[in-house]
Amino acid sequence: MNFDTISEDQKNRIVDCGLELLAAITDAYGVEEGHATWERVSESVGVEFKHVTFLAMLSGKTTNVVTLYGKGCRTTHNFIEIIKQIRFASGLGLKEAKDMADALDSGALKTLKLSVDVKRQFALTALRSAGLTVT
């Protein structure tokens, strides 16, 4: 794979997902399995991916934009909790968070810029726990 042929957004998403996957595997199975997975993944997608992801891991720099999906979330989950978690993760006001939750409920995909004050992994977990799909 050649990282030069894809957009900056695609690169960021690949790196973010790679970091999330490796963190989850390392947390669940330990450092050795995390390292082994890192090697297998980087062999599959190329050395450039490995370098870019490693640099992001060292610097702590990952994107702070996520995509949310929550069709039907008003009836299947606590809608107020969804609004609270959107506000927590993004710093949006009540009206903006409610408007976003309404759009998600109707099936729209929405991008959300995470607040710089919130730890990314904690925000993603909170949004998922509220019933949203986060990518």
- Kindly report, residue by residue over 13-42, the tens digit of the pLDDT: 777 777 777 777 877 888 888 778 878 877
Cβ atoms of 126 and 81 closer than 8 Å: no
User: What's the token pair of residue 83?
Assistant: 């609004």
Cα distance between residue 132 and residue 110, in whole Å: 11
Tell me the CATH architecture of domain 65-134: 2-Layer Sandwich (3.30)
User: What's the token pair of residue 55?
Assistant: 């640099």
pLDDT score recorded for residue 60? 62
Domain boundaries, the chain: 3-59, 65-134
Q: What residues are paired with 38 via a beta bridge?
A: none
Structure pTM? 0.56
pLDDT score recorded for residue 104? 92
Nearest in space to 17 (alpha carbons), one of 66, 51, 70, 60: 66
